[in-house]
C-alpha cells in the first residue's frame, strides 16, 4: 500500500493516512444547498474530494463516500424578509419547495457529471432525516449541553466549553468565536451569542416545517451533517471534508454536537479545500462576478470571452494544490485549455504509436525512465494530493513521447504500452480527465458553437426576410432534438 500523507486541519500537520477499519474508508463531504445553480465554488470541493475518492479506490480501499444535500430551509434567512432561501425561491417561482430542490439538484448532478465527478456512494437529504435529527437533539439535551427557549433548542457553547474545547478546529478561543458569530435572528432567545440552533421554531411564513417535541420547526444546519455522518458512517469515521469557508462555524459546531452526543469526537481527519477567487476578487452576486458552471460551459456571461469545456475547468482546478487559492481569469483558463489540449494530443500520439508498433516482443528500452515517472506521480499524490506535481510529471512524460514521435528517442512497443498506461492511470483514472471523444464526459463545446453558428445564419436569413431558410434551420434543428425559442435578445436553444 502506498504511504498516503494528508493534511489534517485538526492537528495542523500532514499525517500518515491510516483508516480506522482496515481496508474500509468512511468519508463525508458537505454537499450543496439546492436553491440555485452550481457555480465555481461548488466545483472545487467536488473535484478535490473526487480526486481523494478516486485515489483511495485506486489504492485498493473500499470507500463509502457520503455527500449530503442541504434541502431544509435552515438558518440561512433572507435578512430582510425572514424567509429561507428555498421557500423564497418557491414563492417567486410558484413551486412546491421540493420542486425547487429537485430542479436544482438535477442541474447540480448534470454539472457534476459534465465535470466527470463520480457520484458519491450515498447522497442523503437533510429533509429525509428529520426523525434522526430530532433524536440527536434529544440526546444532546440529555447530556446537558443544550437548552430549550421559546420552542427552539440551542446548543449551550459556554457549558460545553467548560468540559471540552469549542474552537478546536479553527483554533479560536470562545471570545474570538463570539465576536465572529454573525447572527440574523433569535438573538434574544439565546443565553450567549455564540450559541447555535439545533432546532428552530418556524415563523408563520416558514413553509418547510416539521413537528417536534419543542415546536413545529426545522433543524439547524450544522445538525444534519452530524446526524447523517453518524447514521451512515458510524460514531467514528475517517475523513470529513469541505471548503475552508465551512470550517467555522459549520464544522466547529459539528464537532461540538458529536462530542456532546457521543462523549468523543467522530472524525479522524478533517480536510479543507481553499477558495476560488475571480480576477482576484471573492465571488459574489453584488460584484457581478458570480458565474455559474453552465455559464462557463456555454460562455454566456459578460466576464467570459469564450466558453470553457468542463474538462478545461477540471484541469484548471487541478493545476493548483487543493489547499492553495485559485484565481480564475480568462487568460488563466485559456492557458489551462491549451495545456490540456497539448497533453491530450500527446496521448493520441502515443495511442497511435503503440498501435503501429510491430516489435511486440522486444524488451523495454526506457523502463527505468517510465518507472521513475510513475513513482513521481505516486509520490506527488501521496504528498497530500499534490495534483500540480502529477500534471508536471505527465508533461515530462509527454516530452518523452514527443521525442519518440519525432524519432530523436528510440522506444520499443513495451515502452509505448508503459507510457500509455501512465496516462491511463494518472490522467484519466485518478485525475479524472476524459478524452474529448470518449463516451463519458463528451466535450460538447464544438457542438454548441456549431448550433450557435446555425442560429446566426438563421438570424441573417430572417433579417433578409428569407423565411424559407429561417424555417428550414429551425425545423431541421427541431428534428435533431433542439428547440429554438426567439426572444427579444435573439434566438435561444435547448436540447430536449
Least Cβ distance, residue 246 to Zn ion (angstroms): 6
User: 90, 114, 197, 225: which one contacts Zn ion (CB under 5 A)?
Assistant: 225
Cβ closest to Zn ion, residue 253 vs residue 344: 253
Q: Which stretch binds Zn ion (CB under 5 A): 222-230, 263-271, 311-319, 392-400?
A: 222-230
Least Cβ distance, residue 250 to Zn ion (angstroms): 6
Least Cβ distance, residue 448 to Zn ion (angstroms): 34
**Which residues from 455-494 bind Zn ion, rule CB under 5 A?**
none
Cβ closest to Zn ion, residue 30 vs residue 354: 30
Cβ closest to Zn ion, residue 38 vs residue 225: 225
Least Cβ distance, residue 230 to Zn ion (angstroms): 13
Least Cβ distance, residue 29 to Zn ion (angstroms): 8
Q: 96: how many CB neighbours lie within 10 A of its CB?
A: 10
Whether the CB-CB separation of 184 and 198 falls below 8 Å is answered with no
Q: Which stretch binds Zn ion (CB under 5 A): 27-35, 205-213, 353-361, 427-435?
A: 27-35
How many residues touch Zn ion (CB under 5 A)? 2
Q: Which stretch binds Zn ion (CB under 5 A): 22-30, 266-274, 379-387, 429-437?
A: 22-30
Cβ closest to Zn ion, residue 227 vs residue 289: 227
Least Cβ distance, residue 179 to Zn ion (angstroms): 23
Least Cβ distance, residue 50 to Zn ion (angstroms): 17
Cβ closest to Zn ion, residue 246 vs residue 473: 246
Whether the CB-CB separation of 325 and 277 falls below 8 Å is answered with yes
Residue 2 CA to its chain's centroid (Å) = 25
Q: Which stretch binds Zn ion (CB under 5 A): 122-130, 154-162, 218-226, 456-464?
A: 218-226
Q: Which stretch binds Zn ion (CB under 5 A): 202-210, 219-227, 467-475, 485-493?
A: 219-227
30 lies in the binding site for Zn ion (CB under 5 A): yes
Distance CA 215, CA 138 (A): 13
Q: Which stretch binds Zn ion (CB under 5 A): 30-38, 196-204, 301-309, 409-417?
A: 30-38
Least Cβ distance, residue 436 to Zn ion (angstroms): 35
Least Cβ distance, residue 153 to Zn ion (angstroms): 19
Least Cβ distance, residue 77 to Zn ion (angstroms): 18
419 lies in the binding site for Zn ion (CB under 5 A): no
Distance CA 490, CA 396 (A): 47
Written in H, E and C, the secondary structure of the chain is CCCCEEEECCCCEEEECCCCECCEEEEEECCCECCCCCEHHHHHHHHHHHHHHHHHHHCCCEEEEEECEECCCCCCEECCCCEEHHHHHHHHHCCCHHHHHHHHHHHHHHHHHHCCCCCCCECCEHHHHHHHHHHHHHHHHHHCCEEEECCEEEECHHHHHHHCCCCCCCCCCHHHHHHHCCCCCCHHHCCCCCCEEEEEECCCCCCCCECCCCCCEEECHHHHHHHHHHHHHCCCEEEEEEEHHHHHHHHHHHHHHHHHHHCCCCEEEEEEECCEEECCEECCHHHCCCCEHHHHHHCCCCCCCCCCCHHHHHHHHHCCCCCCCEEECHHHHHHHHHHHHHHHHHHHHHHHHHHHCCCCCCCCCCHHHHHHHHHHHHHHHHECCCHHHHHHHHHHHHHHHHHHHCCCCCCCHHHHHHHHHHHHHHHHHHCCCCCCCCCCCCCCHHHHHHHHHHHHHHHHHHHCCCHHHHHHHHHHHHHCCEEEEEECCEEEEEEC
395 phi and psi angles, rounded to 5 deg: -70, -35
51 lies in the binding site for Zn ion (CB under 5 A): no
Cβ closest to Zn ion, residue 30 vs residue 56: 30
Cβ closest to Zn ion, residue 33 vs residue 445: 33
Cβ closest to Zn ion, residue 271 vs residue 422: 271
Distance CA 319, CA 343 (A): 13
Q: Which stretch binds Zn ion (CB under 5 A): 26-34, 161-169, 255-263, 452-460?
A: 26-34
Per-residue interface string for the shown chain with Zn ion, residues 176-215, x marking contact by CB under 5 A: ----------------------------------------
Residue among 271, 265, 220 nearest 243 (CA): 271
Cβ closest to Zn ion, residue 146 vs residue 246: 246
Cβ closest to Zn ion, residue 30 vs residue 140: 30
Distance CA 102, CA 215 (A): 27
Q: Which stretch binds Zn ion (CB under 5 A): 52-60, 158-166, 221-229, 458-466?
A: 221-229
Q: Which stretch binds Zn ion (CB under 5 A): 7-15, 23-31, 232-240, 394-402?
A: 23-31
* Grid cell digits, residue 488: 427579444
Which residues form the interface with Zn ion (CB under 5 A)?
30, 225
Amino acid at each position: 500500500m502506498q504511504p498516503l500523507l494528508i493534511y489534517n486541519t485538526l492537528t495542523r500537520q500532514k499525517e500518515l493516512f491510516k483508516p480506522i477499519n482496515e481496508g474500509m474508508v468512511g468519508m463525508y463531504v458537505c454537499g450543496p444547498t439546492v436553491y440555485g445553480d452550481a457555480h465555481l465554488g461548488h466545483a472545487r470541493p467536488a473535484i478535490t474530494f473526487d480526486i481523494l475518492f478516486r485515489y483511495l479506490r485506486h489504492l485498493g480501499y473500499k470507500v463509502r463516500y457520503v455527500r449530503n444535500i442541504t434541502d431544509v430551509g435552515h438558518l440561512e434567512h433572507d435578512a430582510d424578509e425572514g424567509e429561507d432561501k428555498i421557500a423564497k425561491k418557491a414563492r417567486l417561482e410558484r413551486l412546491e419547495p421540493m420542486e425547487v430542490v429537485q430542479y436544482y439538484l438535477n442541474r447540480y448532478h448534470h454539472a457534476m457529471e459534465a465535470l466527470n465527478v463520480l457520484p458519491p456512494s450515498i447522497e442523503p437529504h437533510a429533509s429525509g432525516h428529520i426523525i434522526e435529527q430530532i433524536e440527536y437533539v434529544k440526546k444532546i439535551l440529555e447530556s446537558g449541553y443544550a437548552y430549550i427557549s421559546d420552542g427552539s433548542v440551542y446548543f449551550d457553547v459556554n457549558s460545553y466549553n467548560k468540559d471540552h474545547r469549542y474552537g478546536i478546529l479553527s483554533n479560536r478561543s470562545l471570545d474570538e468565536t463570539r465576536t465572529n458569530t454573525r447572527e440574523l435572528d433569535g438573538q434574544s432567545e439565546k443565553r450567549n451569542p455564540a450559541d447555535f440552533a439545533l432546532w428552530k421554531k418556524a415563523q408563520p411564513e416558514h413553509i418547510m416545517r416539521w413537528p417536534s417535541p419543542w415546536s413545529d420547526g426545522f433543524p439547524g444546519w450544522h445538525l444534519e451533517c452530524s446526524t447523517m455522518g453518524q447514521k451512515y458512517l458510524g460514531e467514528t469515521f475517517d475523513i470529513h471534508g469541505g471548503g475552508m469557508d465551512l470550517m467555522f462555524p459549520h464544522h466547529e459546531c459539528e464537532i461540538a454536537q458529536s462530542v456532546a452526543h457521543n462523549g468523543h469526537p467522530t472524525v479522524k481527519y478533517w480536510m479543507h479545500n481553499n477558495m476560488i477567487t475571480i480576477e482576484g476578487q471573492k465571488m459574489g452576486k453584488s460584484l457581478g462576478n458570480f458565474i455559474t458552471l453552465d455559464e462557463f460551459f456555454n460562455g454566456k456571461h459578460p466576464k467570459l470571452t469564450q466558453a470553457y469545456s468542463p474538462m478545461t475547468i477540471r484541469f484548471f482546478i487541478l493545476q493548483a494544490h487543493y489547499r492553495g487559492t485559485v484565481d480564475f481569469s480568462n487568460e488563466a483558463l485559456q492557458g489551462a485549455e491549451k495545456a490540456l489540449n497539448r497533453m491530450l494530443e500527446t496521448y493520441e500520439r502515443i495511442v497511435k504509436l503503440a498501435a503501429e508498433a510491430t516489435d511486440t516482443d522486444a524488451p523495454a528500452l526506457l523502463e527505468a525512465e517510465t518507472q521513475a515517472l510513475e513513482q513521481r506521480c505516486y509520490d506527488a499524490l501521496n504528498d497530500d494530493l499534490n495534483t500540480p506535481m502529477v500534471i508536471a510529471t505527465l508533461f515530462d512524460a509527454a516530452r518523452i513521447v514527443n521525442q519518440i514521435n519525432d524519432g530523436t528517442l528510440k522506444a520499443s512497443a513495451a515502452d509505448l504500452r508503459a507510457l500509455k498506461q501512465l496516462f491511463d492511470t494518472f490522467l484519466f483514472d485518478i485525475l479524472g480527465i476524459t478524452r474529448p471523444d470518449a463516451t463519458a464526459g463528451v466535450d460538447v463545446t464544438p457542438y454548441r458553437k456549431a448550433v450557435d453558428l446555425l442560429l446566426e445564419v438563421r438570424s441573417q436569413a430572417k433579417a433578409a426576410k428569407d423565411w424559407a431558410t429561417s424555417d428550414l434551420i429551425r425545423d431541421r434543428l427541431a428534428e435533431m432534438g433542439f428547440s429554438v425559442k426567439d426572444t427579444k435578445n435573439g434566438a435561444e436553444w435547448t436540447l430536449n
